């Protein structure tokens, strides 16, 4: 058993508490990882807020991390102690019908136990003050050591800087893949990206790499426009600057609508606007943002009858074990940006400050 520091969420709506936790050794087909760097994501904040129907407490959150394998359980063959890895919240077992289908990346092998905050055998590897602590998204990267299933880990280039590539565990891969894999953005196309946070910027990067000729960023926070343009946005607009709905503005700006739109916020009203901003006959809108529990989307069916397509994406459609090492290689060979997404680097004990910076849009 390893004793180490972890940021524990004891209950919904309260700040994280830095505690000493015990991390049990890995069982069969499990891997224990020393986490070197982790990022914070709105999904962590969403569960912490209490709005997540799958949220269980007390829990160790975090799902964008990178580290070094400390030890492995029986039967683990793909990684060994000392390997550099990224934990994966969407695993890839290679055996289930989802893994065997090229149309999806949604491996279901450990979905049920992962959703309950437990390891595949239905137990936890974390304890604190004598209490069992739940796992989160199969990763729990807000701990100096974590235990994950062996199908939830990608071995990456040992030379990769872990304080940067940890972002490929969720946000960057999600946005980039939404453009490349889910929408399949084509050269010369016009795109609209709603929400210019980390995921939105990654979508812009994907659209640019795919050869889009016009990329319109949409956000209420104008402080984000300069960064969006660095990533490839050709122009940025705020819905507050117009009297009419933003979808009407976009349809006018683009002679009938955009070819591709992306919702990177998790707001059901914006999801509707993103669809309705698409061009009749061929426009495709991709939902990337996660809406709160119980919310529903709506539009007039005529929008779809007249040739628009509504899609969703999780982790950018990447088959995780196969794709994450390649994304790291693409970053190392400067094909994709990663460093530019990092605004602040803080010590572990300032994790609550990191959440505050995220909530204020900084």
Q: What is the structure's pLDDT at 205? A: 98
Classify domain 174-314 by CATH number: 3.40.50.720
Q: What is the structure's pLDDT at 361? A: 82
- Tell me the torsion sign for CA atoms 193, 141, 53, 12: negative
Hunting for tokens 């063959």 — which residue is that?
A: 77
Q: What is the structure's pLDDT at 118? A: 98
Q: Using 50, 70 and 90 to split pLDDT, how confident is the model at 362?
A: confident
Q: What is the structure's pLDDT at 309? A: 98
**Is the confidence at residue 293, as pLDDT, over 90?**
no
- Each residue of 226-235: pLDDT tens digit? 999 999 999 9
Q: What is the structure's pLDDT at 321? A: 98
268 backbone φψ class: left, alpha, beta (φ>0; ψ -120 to 50): alpha
Query: Among the listed ranges 51-60, 106-115, 169-178, which one has the minimum average pLDDT value?
Result: 51-60
- pTM for the whole structure: 0.96
- Tell me the torsion sign for CA atoms 167, 172, 174, 176: negative
Strand order in the sheet with 2-9: 59-60, 2-9, 17-23, 126-128, 131-133
Q: What percent of the chain has pLDDT over 70?
A: 100
CATH superfamily assigned to domain 2-169+319-352: Medium-chain alcohol dehydrogenases, catalytic domain (3.90.180.10)
Q: What is the structure's pLDDT at 53? A: 82
Gap between the Cα atoms of 108 and 316, Å rounded: 16
Asked if omega into 58 is within 30° of 0 (cis), the reply is yes
Q: Where are the domains of the chain?
A: 2-169+319-352, 174-314
To the nearest whole number, what is the mean pLDDT of the chain? 97
Q: Contact, 362 vs 227, CB < 8 A?
A: no
Q: What is the structure's pLDDT at 52? A: 84
Distances (CA, A) of 132 to 55, 56, 110: 15, 11, 20
Structure tokens at 81: 């102690």
Nearest to 137 by CA among 155, 119, 163, 156: 119
**Is the confidence at residue 279, as pLDDT, over 90?**
yes
Query: Among the listed ranges 230-239, 288-297, 311-320, which one has the minimum average pLDDT value?
Result: 288-297
């Amino acid at each position: 058993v390893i004793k180490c520091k972890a940021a524990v969420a004891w209950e919904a709506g309260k700040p994280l508490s830095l505690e000493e936790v015990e991390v049990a050794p890995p069982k069969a087909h499990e891997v224990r990882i020393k986490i070197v760097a982790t990022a914070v994501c709105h999904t962590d904040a969403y569960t912490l807020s209490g709005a997540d129907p799958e949220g269980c407490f007390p829990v160790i959150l975090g799902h964008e991390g990178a580290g070094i394998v400390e030890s492995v359980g029986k039967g683990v063959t793909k990684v060994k102690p000392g390997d550099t890895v990224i934990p994966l919240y969407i695993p890839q077992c290679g055996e289930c019908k989802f893994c065997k289908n090229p149309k999806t990346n949604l491996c279901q092998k450990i979905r049920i136990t992962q959703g309950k905050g437990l390891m595949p055998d239905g137990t936890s590897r974390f304890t604190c003050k004598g209490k069992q602590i739940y796992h989160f998204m199969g990763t729990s990267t807000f701990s100096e050591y974590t235990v994950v299933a062996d199908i939830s880990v990608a071995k990456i280039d040992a030379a990769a800087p872990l304080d940067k590539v940890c972002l490929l565990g969720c946000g960057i891969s999600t946005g980039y893949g939404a453009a490349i894999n889910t929408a399949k953005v084509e050269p010369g196309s016009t795109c609209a990206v709603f929400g210019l946070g980390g995921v939105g910027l990654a979508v812009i990067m994907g659209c640019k790499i795919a050869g889009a000729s016009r990329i319109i960023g949409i956000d209420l926070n104008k402080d984000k426009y300069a960064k969006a343009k660095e990533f490839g946005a050709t122009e940025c607009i705020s819905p507050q600057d117009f009297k009419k709905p933003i979808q009407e503005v976009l349809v006018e700006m683009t002679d009938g609508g955009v070819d591709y739109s992306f919702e990177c916020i998790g707001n059901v009203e914006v999801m509707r606007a993103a669809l309705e901003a698409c061009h009749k006959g061929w426009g495709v809108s991709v939902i990337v943002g996660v809406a709160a529990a119980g919310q529903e989307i709506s539009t007039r069916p005529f929008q779809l009858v007249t040739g628009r397509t509504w899609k969703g994406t999780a982790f950018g459609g990447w088959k995780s074990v196969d794709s994450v090492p390649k994304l790291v290689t693409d970053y190392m060979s400067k094909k994709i940006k990663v460093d530019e997404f990092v605004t602040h680097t803080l010590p572990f004990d300032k994790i609550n400050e990191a959440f505050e910076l995220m909530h204020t849009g900084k």
